Amino acid sequence: MTGVVGSVQPGGGHRLSLNEMPHVPVPDLGEVLLDSLRGVNRYPDPFSRELTEAIAGVHSVPEADVVVGPGSAAILQHVVQWAAPQHGEVVYAWPSFDAYRMVVASAGAKPVEIPLKDHRHDLARMLESVTADTRAVLLCNPHNPTGTALGGTEMLAFLRGIPEHVCVVLDEAYIEFARGRDTPDGCRIYRDLPHVVVLRSFSKAYGLAGLRIGYALAAPRTARALRERLLPFSVSTVAETAARTVLDRRSEVMRYVDRVIAERDRITEELGGQGWDVVPSAANFCWLPMRTGAAEFAAAAARGGLLVRAVQGEGVRVTVGAERANDALLRFTDHFARTGGDIDP
C-alpha cells in the first residue's frame, strides 16, 4: 500500500509514518515493568490468563471469548489461515492496511480488493462481491489509511447481509480515537453475530507498539480455534505486564487519547486553512488525497526532516505526533503549498 521516503529515523527529524503514539500514555510504565524484567529467565504464561481476565473485565465479555496474541496483525494471520486455508476468497477494501495482502497471500487465498468510494468502504460493492467462494471479509474501522469511520446503522446492515459461513474480521486498531462519533463498538456486535471476529491493538492508543501485543474477541468456538493456532509463549511477560498496566490505568490512556484527538483536529483545521484537501479522520492520523502528487510530497517532506506515508497514486497519510512535530509539519505544508515543493535538501 504505502512507501516511506527517506531514512527511517532522520537526524533531528520527525517520524510521522507509522501511526505511533508520540509518548507512552502512562509515563511511569518503565518503572512498573522493572519487576517483570527481573523474571526474564522464566517463560511467560502461555495462556496470558491475567491479561485475558483483565480484557474480559473491561469489555464485560466471557474470558473464553478472548484471544491474546503478539499483535493484532499476527492474530489476523491466524484468522485468515483458519477461515480460508489454501482456497477461497477474502474480500477487503483497497488501499488498506498493508498486512491484509500479506496474510491473504500466506494463507494461499484469493484477494478480492474493492476500491474505496469517497475514501470510505464501498459496502454495497463489497457485499455484491461476496460469492459462494468467499471465506472471509476484512473491515478496517476506522479505516487505515484514510481515517474514515463507518456509522452504526450502515455497518450493522452490512454485517447482517454477510452469510454466516463467512468470517468477518472487524479490525478496530484505531477505535479509541473515534470518540464522540457514531462508530459502533465491535465488542458488543460480535456477541449477536458469531461470524464476526473483533481485533484490538495495544500498539496505537495504548502506546505499546514496541512490545507487540493485541487481542481478538470472538465466539467461543472461533476463539478456541485461534488459541490452538497460536504458538505457546508468543506473548512476553514484559508485554503482558505492560498491557495489564495500561488497562488498569485506562482513564490516563483516554486522557492522552483526547490530547491526540485535539491535535488531530488542529492539524486538520490548519491544513484546510492552507488550502489542502483533508479527509475528516476518526484515527490518529490525517489523510491528504493528493493522487499523483503523493510521492513528490513525501520526498520533499523527507528532505525537510519529516517522514510520512505515501500511497502511490492515492495520497499521503500523516501520523499525529507530538505538538513540536505537528508544528513542523504545518510549517512544511504551508511552505509546500506556496512554493510547489521547493524544499532545499
C-alpha R_g of the chain: 20
Whether the Cβ atoms of residue 145 and residue 294 lie closer than 8 Å to each other = no
Of the candidates 8, 69, 21, the one whose C-alpha atom is nearest the C-alpha of residue 283 is 21
Whether the Cβ atoms of residue 171 and residue 139 lie closer than 8 Å to each other = yes
Number of Cβ atoms within 10 Å of the Cβ of 110? 16
* Res 11: pLDDT: 52
- The residue with greater pLDDT, 344 or 57, is 57
Can you read off the three cell numbers belonging to residue 46? 502461555
Tell me the three-class secondary structure of 309-324, residue by residue.
Answer: EEECCCEEEEECCCHH
Q: SS3 of 138, please?
A: strand
| pLDDT tens-digit map of 214-223 | 999 999 999 9
Entry pTM: 0.93
Burial of 114 (0-12, 13-18, 19+ CB in 10 A): buried
Lowest mean pLDDT across 137-141, 142-146, 178-182, 216-220 = 178-182
Which domains, ranges and CATH numbers included, belong to the chain? Answer: 3-24+251-339 (3.90.1150.10), 29-248 (3.40.640.10)
Buried b (16+ CB within 10 A) or exposed e, 238-250: bbbbbbbbbbebb
Q: Which H helix or E strand runs over 246?
A: helix 237-248
| pLDDT tens-digit map of 14-65 | 999 999 999 999 999 999 999 899 989 999 999 999 999 999 999 999 999 9
For residues 49 and 283, what is the distance between their CA atoms, to the nearest angstrom? 30
